[in-house]
Chain A
Amino acid sequence: MTPTSLVAFLLATCFGSAALAGEITLSERRSGYEFMGTETRGIQDDDTANPAMLWVLDGEALWNRRLGSAQKSCADCHGDASTSMKGVAARYPAFEKALSRPIDLDERINICRTGQQKASPLPFESKDLLALSAYIGMQSRGMSIESKIDEHMRPFLQAGREMFNLRQGQLNLSCAQCHDDNWGEKLAGAPIPQGHPTGYPLYRLDWQAVGSLRRRLRNCLSGIRAISYEIGAPEYVELELYLMWRARGMKIETPAVRP
């Protein structure tokens, strides 16, 4: 190899096609599942090995528990979750007229709790809320993600897209720089996935627990040394909306397992 071609090769390797890849084409999209090792895939593939199923069982119990001053359970209104909740997680975040903004599934659960059950809302990232959203999310497993984007949703989708492309934090990185431009490369030995939220809430071996997409986004934000939004901030929903739109047509894996 001549010195010139060596330099060209190195430049191509370091700053090559990946650096300006832009949005991932639909056919190139891959779930984070495909970036995992066979052992980790094995945990997700077997419901009796997947520890997230423990949360799903908790969620099922909560679904049927009467509580709040109304003494109503989720099941009293919605009946059998395997029919009534089928496909729900695949179309969230959804527009909530009363708030004039999109909400995620966790917020929907809490609106039901305060409005219908007359109970106190569950804190974000609390075990009960994760259990309920894992149970509801699982009813959509295998279904295609389809965000309904109408004139109400469009500005929020645009805000989410802008956030995804915003360079921030001390490392001055955007989401897109890793997940659009450099997916499949390595970050400290771990593969960089495309960042599709297909399996939330999910069990992360790193957390040793089930966690929400909000928690994952906060991990990424602290990873680039940016200031995270408050856990309940609507900014996460805007970003989730963009991510779900970006993952449209991909299959729900809830409750997934990730390293």
Chain B
Amino acid sequence: MARTIINVPAKARRGDIIEIKSLIQHEMETGFRVDNVGQVLPRDIITDFICRYNGEEIFHAELFPAIAANPFFVFSTTATESGTITFEWSGDNGFSATASRDITVE
């Protein structure tokens, strides 16, 4: 599975706004480039990124060929309860990757 780097605070106070950072390894081949003999390099990108907090979708992004390689998303949410934040990427050629982090809310 593609490598991911996730930054979620391990602990937060209830009601705090927390910042979530996610980075994933992916070449994001646009489908517009050609190789050295003129053959089009087929498109190979991540198309969807979803973040869920205890199962509830809190962030969803659609990705397009203009997004740079190794997509990096930073977003925020309110810490409501202890639990798990999950991350899910999917894309061309059956690409799929997941990650999760636990958070304790006091």
Contacts and interface: CB of A to CB of B under 8 A. Distances in A.
A54 B23 contact: yes
B2 to A, nearest CB: 9
A208 B68 CA distance: 7
A51 B72 contact: yes
Given A208-B69, A208-B70, A58 B3 contact: yes
Contacts, number: 36
Classify the interface of chain A: helix, strand, loop or mixed: loop
A53 interface: yes
B21 interface: yes
Interface string B60-97: 00000000111010100000000000000000000000
Greatest chain B CB density within 10 A among A49, A54, A57 is at: A54
A209 interface: yes
A48 B69 CA distance: 16
B70 A51 contact: yes
B7 interface: yes
Contacts of B25: 51, 54
B59 to A, nearest CB: 16
Given A48-B21, A49-B72, A208-B70, A57 B3 contact: yes
Interface residues of B, number: 14
Nearest to B74: A49
B69 A53 contact: no
- Which of B7, B23, B68 is most buried by chain A, counting CB atoms within 10 A of its CB? B23
Nearest to B8: A48
A54 B69 contact: no
A49 B21 contact: yes
Contacts of B70: 51, 54, 208
A54 B3 contact: yes
A87 B5 CA distance: 26
Interface in A175-216: 205, 208-209
Interface of A: 46-49, 51, 53-54, 57-58, 205, 208-209
Q: Which 7 A-B pairs have the closest CB atoms?
A: A48-B7, A208-B69, A51-B70, A54-B25, A54-B3, A57-B3, A48-B21
10 contacts: A47-B5, A48-B7, A49-B72, A49-B74, A54-B23, A54-B25, A58-B3, A208-B70, A209-B27, A209-B69
